[in-house]
Amino acid sequence: MKKKILIKVGTHVLGRDNGRLNYNRIADLVDQIIILRESYQVILVSSGATRAGKEFCQFENEKDPLIKRQMLASIGQGRLFQVYSDFFREHSVVTAQALLTSGNFRNKNSFQNMKSTLEGLLENNIMPIINENDVTSHKESSFGDNDQLAALTGAMLNIDLLVLVSDIIGFYTADPKRDPKAKLIRKVERITPELLTLCENSLSEGGTGGMLSKLKAAELATQHGIPTIVCSGKEPDCLLKAGRLESSGTYFTPVNEKKQLSLRGSWMTTSADVKGVIRIDLGAEKALKENKSLLAVGVTGVEGKFNEKDVVLIQNNEGIRIGTGLTNHSNSVIKEFVKTKNKPKGVVVIHKNHLYTLF
Interaction site with ligand GLU (CB under 6 A): 10-11, 47-50, 73, 131-132, 134, 144-146, 207-208
Least distance from ligand GLU to the Cβ atom of residue 146, Å: 5
Least distance from ligand GLU to the Cβ atom of residue 101, Å: 11
In terms of CB distance, is 144 or 254 closer to ligand GLU?
144
* Dihedral sign of CA atoms 138, 53, 35, 184 in order: negative
In terms of CB distance, is 48 or 227 closer to ligand GLU?
48
CB 11 within 8 A of CB 21: no
In terms of CB distance, is 134 or 310 closer to ligand GLU?
134
For 64, other C-beta atoms within 10 Å of its C-beta total: 10
Max CA pair span of the chain: 70
Least distance from ligand GLU to the Cβ atom of residue 149, Å: 8
CA distance 136 to 165: 25
In terms of CB distance, is 148 or 315 closer to ligand GLU?
148
Least distance from ligand GLU to the Cβ atom of residue 75, Å: 11
**Residue at 16: amino acid letter:** R
How far is residue 147 from each of residues 24, 30, 151, 220, 336, measured CA to CA in Å? Answer: 23, 20, 6, 10, 38
**Alpha helix (H) residue ranges in 90-136:** 102-106, 108-123
Least distance from ligand GLU to the Cβ atom of residue 76, Å: 7
Integer-rounded Cα Rg, in Å, for the chain is 21
In terms of CB distance, is 6 or 255 closer to ligand GLU?
6
